[in-house]
Chain A
């Protein structure tokens, strides 16, 4: 990069943006939103019980870290999300690949998967509690339910998009079907797969909060729901904020890993 970045490049369609400029714009935009919010709250335009200023939310968060085990609750939630997510991924990747590799498997599974995929997870909470009680199993099950069936179809689509010619090249140099799947199809679909996993991980948090609100005595969903009972709006918002921060950090880390692993793109 010749350092030749001009202001008008910002408004050119798909013009490349230097990493530092992009980071600055991101920070400035977030700061602007927070500043407006803070200003509106300070001027007394909103009722602090309903809509506290960000400074109040942050000091509530500090308090909760200090004496309400916020970090531990966050950790519990993260563990739940990741164990359910990994379980869903480990099952969805081979099944999804098989669904598009072998038409018969696809034909058999697609209607079932599509049916379950459209069931709203909250509607299955009562059933899940009847089956698994209110322990960890229920939470993992609900999260798994919300992600596995979506992921299976995404994986099968990723696999379908692998160019036929890649498969044919592998065959003409003597690969067996298993080798074609592992060395070529899986490798070709990997960047798309990692993107889909990243997006699915975000959904996990939605289902987690639902599960923790209904049946939990720990985790961020529980913290938020408990604070609501006493109308402690800053604490409710602090819990929500923390989820956002965890999501942002995870996403950025996964994006960086993606860039590093798939440098050839």
Chain B
């Protein structure tokens, strides 16, 4: 395993507020699916924004393939926690916006990808609708499709399935895991749902309250293997893992920083 993303002695402060505990070190391998679990306000979004280049660490650095991450670009795609889309573009145009500035794709390829991801998230029939006319869960799917269509190697997803119904959530969890394996993507995924974490992750990282410190790491791949199926979710291994994580999350929320 080669490290794709490395945090080396990172600190992050907003004014006097320390967001990540110093020193913060973390390595994420290429093609690894990492899930962040932790109490609300602990700094998960901030960590993600720093990988995406939208926030800069206060000291030391975050490297991607050995080079400092720098500003944002399309190779690090982001699904924001508030799942915004542009109200003046239709659903299909919003999804296509993910590829708007890519010059390495032809127009036909872009159209093909757009329709593929619209269909994947079940929004094909709403292609020509404006986002203000669709539900919150559908808007969240626009943001997911836009980010997947963009085709980045690193996917940063901040509670991307929060507003979805259980069935759609399971479907997209399966698709995401499949896409991640097939296209060899590195994924950093934030959720508060331990079952989602257990199903998706190669590795789960549990954070303390702010300032974020790594409380525990769970090697899910060693426990459940690479392939995840719907049936697994009812298995005893999965259940044990889920309970274990739930205990860790409770402990992390209760512990004073």
Contact = CB atoms under 8 A, between A and B. Distances in A.
Interface of A: 163, 165-166, 168-169, 171-176, 179, 183-184, 187-188, 190, 262-265
B100 A173 contact: yes
Interface stretch (B11-19, B76-84, B183-191, B236-244): B76-84
B98 interface: yes
Contacts of B131: 264
Nearest to A190: B88
26 contacts: A165-B80, A165-B82, A165-B84, A166-B84, A168-B72, A169-B84, A169-B97, A171-B53, A171-B72, A172-B53, A172-B54, A172-B72, A172-B74, A173-B74, A173-B97, A173-B98, A173-B101, A173-B146, A187-B88, A188-B86, A190-B88, A263-B130, A264-B131, A264-B132, A265-B87, A265-B132
Interface residues of B, number: 27
Given A172-B72, A264-B132, A163 B52 contact: no
Given A173-B74, A174-B73, A174-B101, A168 B80 contact: yes
A189 B98 CA distance: 21
Interface centre among B54, B86, B100 (most CB of A within 10 A): B86
Contacts of B150: 173-174
A168 B82 CA distance: 12
Given A172-B77, A172-B78, A166 B54 contact: no
Contact of B86 (A172, A184, A262): A184
A230 B87 CA distance: 57
Nearest to B86: A166
B254 interface: no
A168 B101 contact: no
B82 A171 contact: no
A174 B74 contact: yes
B86 A187 contact: yes
Which 3 residue pairs across A and B have the least CB separation, nearest first?
A174-B74, A264-B130, A174-B101
Given A174-B74, A188-B86, 6 more contacts: A168-B80, A172-B52, A173-B98, A187-B88, A263-B130, A265-B87
A98 B76 CA distance: 28
Contacts of B86: 166, 169, 184, 187-188
Contacts of A163: 84
Contacts of A168: 54, 72, 78, 80
A188 B88 contact: yes
B250 interface: no
Nearest to B156: A172
Contacts of A171: 53-54, 71-73
Interface string B16-54: 000000000000000000000000000000000000111
Contact of B88 (A165, A175, A176, A264): A264
B100 A183 contact: yes
A174 to B, nearest CB: 3
